[in-house]
Amino acid sequence: WHSMWDQTPHDSSRNHYRMIHLNAILVDGVILNGPVADSEAGEKFVEEATKIIMEEVIKKAADVTEKVCEWQPPEKLKALLDLELKDTGENHQKLLQFCRDVIKFSVKTNHPRFFNQLYAGIDYYSLAARFITEALNPSVYTYEVSPVFLLVEDAVLKKMIEFIGWEEGDGIFNPGGSVSNMYAMNLARYKYCPDIKEQGLSGMPRLVVLTSDECHYSVKKAASFLGIGTQNVYFIKSDERGKMIPEELEKQVLRARKEGSAPFFVSATAGTTVLGAFDPLDEIADICERYGLWLHVDASWGGSALLSRKHCRLLHGIHRANSVAWNPHKMLMAGIQCCALLVKDSSGLLKRCYSANASYLFQQDKFYDVSYDTGDKSIQCSRRADAFKFWMTWKALGTTGLEERVNRALALARYLVDEIKKREGFQLLLEPEYANICFWYIPPSLRNMEEGHEYWEKLHHVAPAIKERMMKKGSIMLGYQPHRGKVNFFRQVIISPKVSREDMDFLLDEISSLGKDL
């Protein structure tokens, strides 16, 4: 034994292991005396890795002189990173270098000039909360293993329910708004035909889902996943601003009924992904009440406007919904993932729909109040303590601080819109009502060209070319897309309080600089 352990590269551990082996107990050739993990070395590694995170991520988060990304094509990046998993472990110095490389070649989503997605920035309180939950590694299903985080989730859900305008309700945090939308659709189906939980789809009527043609693609995926079928999703026309047209919704409800189908679920959107449109919830709610339909509001992106007294009007009528999806990891920067499904029903519908009554987790004869064992409301078993990071941010900033974040983001959006209107070569698609600013950059070579087929064909290639240049330079990240027959345009999204007026000016200057020769 001694000769084997003398070859161990970790000299500081040798005496520890020699003491264990003096009275070693073996089972199947494995020494059971222990522990065999070197806690001291592990703690040192965590300490050193944390220093790297602090220096290379957190302290550089607000530094606009740093690159947003260090672009490398996939094959080159594979060569730069040591991705191979080997039979023997690496030493800590190599692991720490890998930590540095991972940070170097990853996109800095906390950078003030990262505008690529519907999330951005760094919230220090949320980040600290994530460190805590990662270290504690809880699973939020029963009070006995996750007492604090279950109480935190309950407190956060109650506060979110209050802002929706319900007197009471239920809810649960999920791994993504897409999952929340699927939960809502399944919950509505269970309410419509409860027997489906045990008897399955056989003998069920042809169910129909109704949603806007501007909805998030997760609605279609949910219909596929749940066995409803994508052909049974009726997409309702939206107006030029991307808002569902209520009259068209009613027409499709009547069409479904005339076909002998069973429309049961309407998914409205509060803050569409591309245009940032808000469906007219009051008018949609009138139709849902008239025909006995479950109204779900996908407010994953726009829900945070509820915290702003100035902008909450965007979601007028949301209190009439049966369920709401709301992602605090977007505008409120709680950190991915932080996504809640909120349900108006308070009779236990959520639990009845999803419970499986696992006897090894949800025993009814525990020594405490088992109503706090809320995990059976989820399709998951293991579940992260996602509510805690939002709770920490809310505790730190207060409702007023969160409201200021929303107001500032939308004020910056207004500033950018005004600047776009002033500058030659920039053209808005439409006046935004939220933080999505959609626009074209028109290079000098196209400015005097007639707006015919050739013009739009050439303009279609401008945004992708500029995007490639900005990423290879690392100066900024901005999304683009074609949409509803319109050629590629930029979609600027403003979220982080680290973003300044100067960053808005830089954005337009940089696009002009990168695209003027196209």
Residue 18 pLDDT grade (very low, low, confident, very high; cuts 50, 70, 90)? low
Q: What is the pLDDT of residues 355-365, one digit of tens each?
A: 988 888 888 98
Tell me the mean pLDDT in the region 399-406.
98
Q: What is the pLDDT of residues 30-39, one digit of tens each?
A: 888 877 778 8
Q: Give the pLDDT score at 21.
A: 57
Q: Is residue 474 part of a domain?
A: no
Q: What is the pLDDT of residues 308-330, one digit of tens each?
A: 999 999 999 999 999 999 999 99
Can you name the residues that pair with 323 across neighbouring β-strands? 296, 343
Q: Give the pLDDT score at 9.
A: 46
Helix (H) or strand (E) holding 426: strand 426-428
What is the DSSP secondary structure assignment for residue 303, as one 8-state letter?
G
Q: Give Cβ neighbours of residue 169 (< 8 Å, ≥ 6 apart).
A: 157, 161, 342, 343, 344, 345, 346
Q: Give the pLDDT score at 7.
A: 41
Q: Give the pLDDT score at 31.
A: 82
Collapsing DSSP states into helix, strand and coil, what is residue 438? strand
Q: Which CATH number fits the domain that encloses residue 76? A: 3.90.1150.170
Q: At what angle do helices 386-422 and 124-136 cross, to 10 degrees?
A: 150
Tell me if 115 sits within 8 A of 493, measured CB to CB: yes
Percentage of the chain beyond pLDDT 70 is 96
Task: Specify the number of domains making up the chain.
Answer: 1
Give the chain's mean pLDDT.
93
Q: Is residue 37 part of a domain?
A: yes
Q: What are the CA-CA distances from residue 242 to residues 83, 239, 270, 282, 432 (Å)?
A: 44, 5, 11, 16, 11
Q: What is the pLDDT of residues 219-275, one digit of tens each?
A: 999 999 999 999 999 999 999 999 999 999 999 999 999 999 999 999 999 999 999
Q: What is the length of the chain?
A: 518
Closest by CA to 208, choosing from 178, 184, 179, 230, is 230
Q: Is residue 22 part of a domain?
A: yes
- Other Cβ atoms within 10 Å of 302 Cβ, number: 29
What is the DSSP secondary structure assignment for residue 74, as one 8-state letter?
H
307, two tokens: 């915290």
Q: Which domain holds residue 103?
A: 13-108
Torsions phi, psi for 75 (to 5 deg): -65, -40
Closest by CA to 323, choosing from 301, 362, 349, is 349
Q: Give the pLDDT score at 428.
A: 97
Tell me the mean pLDDT in the region 91-104.
96
Q: Is residue 484 part of a domain?
A: no
By mean pLDDT, which of 122-126, 312-316, 373-377, 436-440 is the weakest? 373-377
Q: What is the pLDDT of residues 42-58, one digit of tens each?
A: 999 999 999 999 999 99
Q: What is the pLDDT of residues 441-452, one digit of tens each?
A: 999 999 999 999
Q: Is residue 61 part of a domain?
A: yes
Q: Is residue 238 part of a domain?
A: no
Tell me the mean pLDDT in the region 375-386.
92
462 alpha-carbon distance from chain centroid: 29
Q: Is residue 92 part of a domain?
A: yes
Q: Is residue 118 part of a domain?
A: no
Q: What is the pLDDT of residues 51-88, one digit of tens each?
A: 999 999 999 878 999 999 999 999 999 999 999 999 99
